[in-house]
Copies of this chain bind each other. A is one copy, B any other.
Amino acid sequence: MSEAYVHGYHQRENERLQDQAGTLVDLLHADTAYPGGSTVLEVGCGVGAQTVTLAQRSPGARFTSVDLSADSIAEARRRVDLAGLANVELRQADVFAPPFDAESFDHVFVCFVLEHLSRPVAALAILKGLLRPGGTITVIEGDHGSTYFHPDSPAAHAAIRCLVEVQREAGGNALIGRQLYPLMVEAGFDAVAVSPRMVYVDSSRPDLVDGFTRKTFTAMVEGIRGSATTAALIEPERFDAGVRALHRTTEADGVFCYTFFKAVAEKTRRA
């Protein structure tokens, strides 16, 4: 994770990640559970938004959750302690220089990390080296190009393209969700199975309107206003019109769609 983290490390971003994990937890995590006694490496745990969910859902598994940022690890430790979890070890580490023995984990879990890396296949290959033969890797990523909504708005799409461009200039790929299958095949994993996790939001689901459309996605777009306008990617007026159009989708007749992708794959046992 030797990359600039495009979303920044501010308090509001922490709240955004927490909102995201809160409203999307079932959609993303309901089918992930690890057997008692198994060891799981969580890479890029950030402030622990997914860590708490993972560890609660697999109380018999032992998690090692790592992040490049010491500050994030400190916040994650606070959250893990607050949740009373005793099955999580937290430590600062770089996925490109992991302080672990080869083939020392039964499972690997990666969520919202590959999107920020310029060499995602290299990272996946390193993680494959840390997995025991017969182990699994689970990867969850978003895809900002999966976003569409009603009423439609060219300005909103332009603002979203700025987010994609800002992330690209930082070395990342905001369209990585759709690419998980070929990336994991290229990294040498077997039995790669990808499933889309689409968030469909209309006004019959006010929790998602507020928790996802407004406080997760639109907040994320608003968060790059400074970098997008400073880099002259867009006129400030057009960016603001785009943000207003995203808020417009939260009204009674509005609809908002976004898709995450979840991939599960195996490291084949030796013949």
Residues on A close to B: CB < 8 A?
143, 145-146, 148-150, 152, 175, 178-179, 181-182, 185-186, 192-196, 198, 200, 202-204, 252-255, 257, 259, 261
A114 to chain B: closest CB distance in Å? 14
Cβ-defined contact, A196 with B257, below 8 A: yes
What separation, in Å, do the CA atoms of A193 and B205 have in the docked complex?
10
Q: Is the CB of A196 within 8 A of B185?
A: no
| A128 shortest CB reach to chain B, Å | 18
* Interface contact A200-B204, CB-CB below 8 Å: no
> Closest B-chain residue to A261, C-beta based?
B200
Partner of A150, one of B179, B196, B254: B179
Tell whether, in the assembled complex, residue B204 and residue A181 are in contact, meaning their CB atoms are under 8 Å apart.
yes
A173 to B143, CA, bound (A): 25
Contacts of A145 in B (CB 8 A): 148, 152
In the complex, what's the smallest C-beta–C-beta distance from A26 to chain B, in angstroms? 15
5 A-B residue pairs with Cβ-Cβ distance under 8 Å, sorted by A, are A145-B148, A146-B148, A146-B257, A178-B257, A185-B253
- A183 vs chain B, min Cβ distance (A): 9
Select from chain B the residue with minimum beta-carbon distance to A197.
Answer: B198
> A148 and B178: CB pair below 8 A?
yes
